[in-house]
Amino acid sequence: MSKLTLGSYPHLLGFEQLERLLERTAKSGNEGYPPFNIEQTSDHSYRITLAVAGFGEDDLAITVEDRQLVIRGRQKDDSDGRIFLHRGIAARQFQRTFVLADGVEVGEAIMENGLLHVDLTRSVPETIVQTINIKKG
């Protein structure tokens, strides 16, 4: 059985980049940590919320790289001289990646009660009708 690709559909022209984005997202290795929510806050805006308890603003980095929102967390090791009888609070580094569609812009990021909120807005492209003249050959 052959693998179906977007290139297999003759009416979908120029979607090769979308196929590469899907493959890259599948390989990104996002594990289940930290947990997150994605909510639609209006017709053209979204909010990603990550549970980052124990992380401070200085422990987090948010970047946009090649149409991907990348959120990284790395805590400093503050266990010097401390003896843990049980350590159940995760203190590991993480990287979460979200692929952004064309026209999606990253807004502000807010840290609140151990939750990191990242707001996104999607601009609505205007509809353009273009008439193509036919020349005699």
Per the CB < 8 A criterion, the answer to whether 50 and 71 are in contact is yes
Average pLDDT over residues 97-102: 90
Nearest in space to 96 (alpha carbons), one of 47, 42, 25 = 25
What are the tens digits of pLDDT across the range 11-21?
A: 777 777 777 76
Q: What are phi and psi of 73, to 5 degrees?
A: -135, 135
Indicate the helix (H) or strand (E) that contains 70.
strand 68-73
- Greater confidence (92 vs 15) lies with 92
Per the CB < 8 A criterion, the answer to whether 68 and 22 are in contact is no
Query: Angle at CA 55, nearest 5°, toward 54 and 57?
Result: 145
C-alpha dist (Å) from residue 24 to 41, 67, 92, 131 = 27, 12, 24, 36
What are the tens digits of pLDDT across the range 19-74?
A: 776 776 666 555 688 999 999 999 999 999 999 988 999 999 999 998 899 999 99
Q: Does domain 32-122 have CATH number 2.60.40.790?
A: yes
What are the tens digits of pLDDT across the range 67-89?
A: 899 999 998 777 778 888 988 87
Q: What one-letter code names the amino acid at 36? A: F
pLDDT given for residue 4 in this prediction: 65
Q: How far apart are CA 25 and CA 21, in angstroms?
A: 6
> Where are the alpha helices (H) located in the chain, listed in sequence order?
16-26
pLDDT given for residue 113 in this prediction: 95
